[in-house]
């Protein structure tokens, strides 16, 4: 039996790095995606060490804040991997001030939602029969999703609210994805509050707060358990379209169960990304 091929974004820190190493240890063929070549190389070396002499680990470098880079990455993955069994859309961050990318997208929206949405669409045919795993968060309880202002251009920018809104988008994406692409399955998960580089992108107070709280947070390895479980072990029929906490299907907040909202978000996101492709 062939080893499952797992593509994981945001794979060079925290949950992503821990998952990449564990997936390799479990015998998966792992494609590591990260922004910094040195970190991609280092994580790949750790994964190869964990997987042993037969481990197959691939390295892909891409800045997922850029739409053209997402498209280039997709083309590279399609060229390199005749089969993709799992796409783990794990890349994400919290930004403490509102900034836009060269594409004109607010950074949180661009990285946490749009990049994974676009990459999944570009790889969907190759993923047929496979799984999509999305790293969401219980922070979705703080969401304030306005379909007419997805990127907080008109409203006050609150880092946690903006981050939480992007995580609600992740859950709605996982809910709607199997309806749009019945040839694959999808699920998302809350990893817990994990000791990672999350939230340290900018903002001194956030950096200090996360450093102080560090000893009380989950380890990256524990945070990665649900990702690995969804990628390799979970029954797809039992988790398809669901939200998972600690390897169990859980009930997210009401907005995350709204099928009308999920459909509308899909349409708005597709329209926005299509406009950027023109």
Active-site residue set: 163
Give the Cα separation of 87 and 151 in Å (integer).
25
CA distance 141 to 127: 30
Dist CA 108 CA 163 (whole Å): 7
């Amino acid at each position: 039996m062939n080893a499952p091929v797992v593509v994981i974004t945001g794979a060079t820190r925290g949950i992503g790095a821990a998952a990449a190493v564990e997936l390799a240890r479990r015998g998966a063929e792992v494609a590591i995606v990260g922004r910094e070549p040195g970190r991609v190389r280092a994580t790949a070396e750790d994964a190869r060490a964990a997987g042993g002499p037969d481990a197959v680990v691939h390295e892909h470098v891409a800045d997922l804040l850029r739409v053209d880079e997402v498209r280039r990455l997709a083309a590279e993955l399609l060229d390199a991997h005749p089969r993709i069994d799992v796409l783990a859309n794990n890349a994400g961050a919290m930004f403490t001030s509102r900034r836009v990318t060269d594409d004109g997208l607010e950074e949180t929206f661009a990285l946490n939602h749009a990049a994974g949405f676009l990459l999944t669409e570009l790889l969907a045919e190759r993923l047929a029969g496979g799984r999509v795993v999305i790293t969401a968060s219980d922070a979705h309880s703080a969401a304030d999703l306005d379909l007419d202002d997805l990127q907080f251009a008109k409203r006050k920018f609150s880092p946690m609210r903006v981050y939480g809104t992007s995580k609600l988008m992740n859950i709605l994406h996982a809910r709607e994805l199997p309806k749009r692409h019945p040839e694959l399955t999808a699920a998302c998960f809350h990893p817990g509050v994990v000791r990672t580089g999350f939230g340290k992108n900018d903002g001194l107070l956030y950096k200090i707060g996360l450093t102080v709280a560090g000893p009380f947070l989950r380890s990256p390895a524990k945070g990665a358990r649900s990702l690995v479980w969804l990628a390799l072990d979970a029954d797809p029929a039992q988790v398809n379209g669901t939200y998972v906490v600690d390897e169990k299907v859980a009930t997210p907040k009401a907005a995350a169960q709204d099928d009308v909202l999920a459909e509308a978000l899909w349409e708005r996101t597709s329209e926005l990304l299509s406009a950027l492709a023109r």
